[in-house]
């Protein structure tokens, strides 16, 4: 698991700073969308919708 983090870090540090910024922005948007999907899924399950 540690080697996976080192591998990802080496890839990210190898790209130019502007691409790092864009990667971070799109990555954060993806995390927010995933969180919204999970919350919506849980709410639908509580209401009894399938």
Given a contact cutoff of 8 angstroms between Cβ atoms, the answer to whether 32 and 40 are in contact is no
44 CB-near residues (< 8 Å, 6+ apart): 50
Residues 6+ apart with CB under 8 A from 50: 44
Chain-wide mean pLDDT for the chain? 92
pLDDT (mean) for 21-39: 97
In the chain, domain spans: 2-47
Tell me the average pLDDT across 22-27.
96
Q: How big, in percent rounded to 5, are the helix, strand and coil portions of the chain?
A: 90, 0, 10
- The reply to whether the predicted model has a pTM over 0.85 is no
């Amino acid at each position: 698991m540690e080697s996976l983090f080192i591998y990802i870090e080496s890839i990210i540090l190898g790209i130019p700073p502007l691409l790092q910024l864009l990667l971070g922005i799109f990555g954060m948007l993806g995390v927010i969308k995933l969180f919204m999907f999970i919350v919506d899924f849980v709410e639908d399950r509580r209401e009894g919708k399938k």
